[in-house]
A and B are shown apart, each in its own frame.
Chain A
Amino acid sequence: MTVRDIIEPGARLADGQWHRLHPATPVLKGGIALLAIVGVIIVNIRDILIDVVIGGGDVPSDRDPLVWIYEHEFAGLFALALLAGVLLFVGGFYLSWRMHRFRVTDEQVEVQSGILFRTNRRGRLDRIQGINISKPFLARLFGAAKLEVSVAGQNANVQLAYLGSAAADELRREILLRASGTHSAAADAAPSAGGVIGQRVSELLSPELDPDAAPPESVVQMHLGRLIGSLLLSGFTVVLIGGIVALVVVTTTTRQPFFLFGFVPAIIGMGGFYISRFTRSLRYSIASTPDGIRVGFGLLSTSNETLPPGRIHAVKVSQPLLWRPAGWWEVKINRASSSSASGAAGQANTTILPVGNLSDTMKVLELVLPGLVDPAAIEMLERGMLSKGGDDGFTNSPRRARILRWFSWNRNGFAVVPGAVMFRSGAIWRELVVVPQARLQSLGMRQGPLLRRLRLATLSVHTVAGPVVARLGAIDKSEAVDAFGAISAAAVSSAEIDTSHRWRMTLPPAPPQIPVAEQP
């Protein structure tokens, strides 16, 4: 078994052979810690250096261990120990880099790592839920990127950190190609011209989407004003203002300024939240590729994720109250995997559109719900978001449900369209949940004593865990029973014709014609 190092960009990595990661990996992984240690040592040593070079200067403190060592003539011994330590450190990192290798075969991607405790992790290609290429700022300077293959399950991702930027892009394309069900010939990667520096600069400046694999333009443009506005009008801001008001009241009534100081760390934290949210969303992009949708985020540290078709289990479009005058919406999704890149900027990678107006939202919905090809179904989406309710294709709660849904009873309803189930709710905080029928795991219906008195029931569609919960309460009992039958039949027939786990194997067939639950 031979192991090849990645040196030249564009080398074929998905050839079934073992490969190693980017040579700068140890620096990037342990880099910050190493820099910090070196920094501390340098700061401490500065006085000694001045003393040695210039002479005669008085070494101030004897509490400092380094100074103490110097004064007691242990400098030689110390230097030796330091050298040994550094060698051990570097040797360890080098060894761990040597032992860390991966290969991509037609069936799976496999990673081996560890010096003493070996781990071996394999991910099946046809179970891939998404591929994320993230570039922390430091890694971007080195032209390196982290490739993460998400497989269904919590913490079940195969991570390749770090690869060269070009190599990561190429590997993603290869993996997606294999996962899609075609075994294509190798795509010849054109070697990029220019020196190392020129290449770095062009990588730093280049847009997130690599040009040959995706149409470069995003279907949604993130406007600066809208982004700032959405942050200022978020629920978080409301809480923040409430907190400030409470603080002012407490301080003026008690005349104790100490409370203010207690909140300084909290205020710094909140500032950090806004900044990270802002920088993360600023260069948001979403585009359609043959291998699924590609979502990019990030200004300094970037992340760019490809979600193959059929990996989105539920979609929620929601509108916080304060966004309503501006007509902005947010889109979240449920997916079977969780990427470790999610927590990094305080915003989970399940948010697929941080903020957008109606047309942006519709474009994103068309991307994330490729099964909804019917123009009528797309019209239903819009009605599900905007309609005040009434007889508009959705089966809404009856009038007697207004005890439970004071304002929204006329809007609170469901619709079964070819390929998907839609749940609409909320008159003040408007929300629409769409679950593709082929992704539905099971279907539930329940009724407690209160709902029974009102002849109502709750319908829920069970999907993989995530921020979207598809549950609709207070709908007419007999409507619920009918819908239960219709949706469970639709789920089975949609799952039978669904081929999205091998999306290039066949052309996507038309979604089944499922009759919409009858109106009373």
Chain B
Amino acid sequence: MTHRLEIPNIEWRRVSPRYIVVDLVGTLVFGIISCVATSLPALLFGNVLLWAIPASLAVIFIITLALTPRRVRSIGYQLRDDDLLFRRGLMFQRFVAVPYGRMQLVDINRGPLDRAVGLSELKFVTAAASTGVVIPGLTSADAEALRDRLVQLAESRRAGL
């Protein structure tokens, strides 16, 4: 039996599977750069023990890459009647509920990789910095529709700070 956190009676909306590619490429590029950079001391000094650093990094990145599809599938959100529910994370699970009236602004960001596969990232900002709701891997049409919907919902439930 697993002791994972699960919120009852929620049908999660998942992000586009194309985001797996974006995440994989991003992790791969970062992984190669950090492995190469940490290999330099080993190459320069010829000390065999120094290879331990890039090797352990490589192992970490390979595990991260292997888990990426599952991690992306774990990202979910749902618009409930009065609040936005968001989840992400596999090993480190995180759930956030934000009442619509608390919304200060919605950001849509597109990185170069996101643009290549037609995805966007939506960021929901409240007055609390720790809210940190960022929904990656939405198709651009979805992201814009979601933003408009959120703005409309926030307007109708406007509250003080």
Cα of A447 to Cα of B3 in the assembled complex, Å:
10
Q: Which of B53-61, B106-114, B129-137 contacts A (4 or more CB under 8 A)?
A: B129-137
Q: Contacts A452-B3, A462-B131, A488-B83 given: A444-B95 contact, CB under 8 Å?
A: yes
A437 CB to nearest B CB, Å = 10
Q: Which of B40-48, B143-151, B153-161 contacts A (4 or more CB under 8 A)?
A: B153-161
B24 at the interface (CB under 8 A from A): no
Q: Contacts A447-B92, A481-B6, A492-B82 given: A460-B97 contact, CB under 8 Å?
A: no
A137 at the interface (CB under 8 A from B): no
Q: Contacts A443-B96, A481-B6 given: A496-B131 contact, CB under 8 Å?
A: no
Cα of A222 to Cα of B94 in the assembled complex, Å:
44
A67 at the interface (CB under 8 A from B): no
| Tally of A-B Cβ pairs under 8 angstroms | 109
Cα of A438 to Cα of B161 in the assembled complex, Å:
9
- Interface on chain B toward A: helix, strand, loop, or mixed SS? loop
A194 at the interface (CB under 8 A from B): no
A488's closest neighbor in chain B, by CB? Answer: B97
Cα of A449 to Cα of B93 in the assembled complex, Å:
9
Q: Quick check: B161 and A445 within 8 Å, CB to CB?
A: no
Q: Contacts A441-B102, A444-B130 given: A481-B3 contact, CB under 8 Å?
A: no
Q: Quick check: B5 and A442 within 8 Å, CB to CB?
A: no
A403 CB to nearest B CB, Å = 15
Cα of A453 to Cα of B93 in the assembled complex, Å:
13
Cα of A336 to Cα of B127 in the assembled complex, Å:
8
B31 at the interface (CB under 8 A from A): no
B128 at the interface (CB under 8 A from A): yes
For A457-473 the 0/1 string (1 means CB < 8 A from B) is 10010111100000000
For A468-505 the 0/1 string (1 means CB < 8 A from B) is 00000000010011001100110110011010110000
Q: Quick check: A441 and B7 within 8 Å, CB to CB?
A: no
B133's closest neighbor in chain A, by CB? Answer: A442
Tell me the B46-82 residues at the A interface (CB within 8 Å).
82
Q: Contacts A449-B91, A462-B128, A488-B83 given: A444-B160 contact, CB under 8 Å?
A: no
Q: Which residues of A contact B129 (CB under 8 A)?
A: 465
Q: Which residues of B contact A438 (CB under 8 A)?
A: 159
A466's closest neighbor in chain B, by CB? Answer: B128
B59 CB to nearest A CB, Å = 18
Q: Quick check: B94 and A492 within 8 Å, CB to CB?
A: no
Q: Quick check: B83 and A465 within 8 Å, CB to CB?
A: no
Q: How large is the interface on A (under 10, 10 to 19, 20 to 34, 35 or more residues)?
A: 35 or more
Q: Which residues of A contact B118 (CB under 8 A)?
A: none
Candidates B3, B93, B126; contact of A441 at CB < 8 Å: B126
Q: Quick check: A460 and B99 within 8 Å, CB to CB?
A: no
Q: Quick check: B128 and A465 within 8 Å, CB to CB?
A: yes
A495's closest neighbor in chain B, by CB? Answer: B159
A152 at the interface (CB under 8 A from B): yes
Q: Which residues of A contact B130 (CB under 8 A)?
A: 444, 460, 462
Q: Quick check: B160 and A484 within 8 Å, CB to CB?
A: no
Q: Quick check: A443 and B128 within 8 Å, CB to CB?
A: no
Q: Quick check: A441 and B5 within 8 Å, CB to CB?
A: no
B20 CB to nearest A CB, Å = 23
Give 9 closest A-B pairs by Cβ, nearest first: A501-B160, A441-B128, A462-B128, A488-B97, A492-B82, A442-B98, A442-B131, A445-B95, A455-B3
Query: What are 10 A-B pairs with beta-carbon distances under 8 A?
Result: A127-B161, A440-B99, A445-B96, A448-B93, A453-B3, A462-B96, A462-B130, A484-B7, A488-B97, A492-B82
